Structure 1
Amino acid sequence: MMTEQIQTMLAEAAGRDAADFADYDQNIFDAGLIDSMATVQFLFALQDEFNIQVPVSGFERDEWSTVNLIAERVKELQ
């Protein structure tokens, strides 16, 4: 399932346990689960994993702030 894959990728990029990202509707930025450097690393991993292009310059945190929103964005970019 894509959401589980994204959860694992977020945890790897942030150096955290995957359980920290288990609430797919939790705002990962507001919760302090991921910082800006890990976000960039995560976006590159998303591009590689799902063969998409994520425009970092047009990145809007509000559109990428939960696991569910990230999954929606990835589906739109595929």
Structure 2
Amino acid sequence: MKTVKSALIVAALTAVSFGSFAQSITATASTLDDAEAQIARQAQEAGAQYKITESYAGNQVHMTARLIK
């Protein structure tokens, strides 16, 4: 019984941790450098670091990043 309670507590805390820190941001610009600069600015305003998760270049560049606190 104690093992089950411990497992449930760990699972709940893990879900809370990921939920409170996982945030995605996006930017659209004409170049990769401009899009990344927008991402960097948004991350700085949020007081976090970022990791680019997606980038697409068509007529414009669309970039998505995950904030890391």
TM-score band, normalised by the shorter chain?
Answer: 0.3 to 0.5
Q: Which has the larger radius of gyration?
A: 2
Structure with greater proportional helix content: 1
**Normalising by structure 2, what TM-score?**
0.35
Q: Whose strand fraction is larger, Structure 1's or Structure 2's?
A: 2
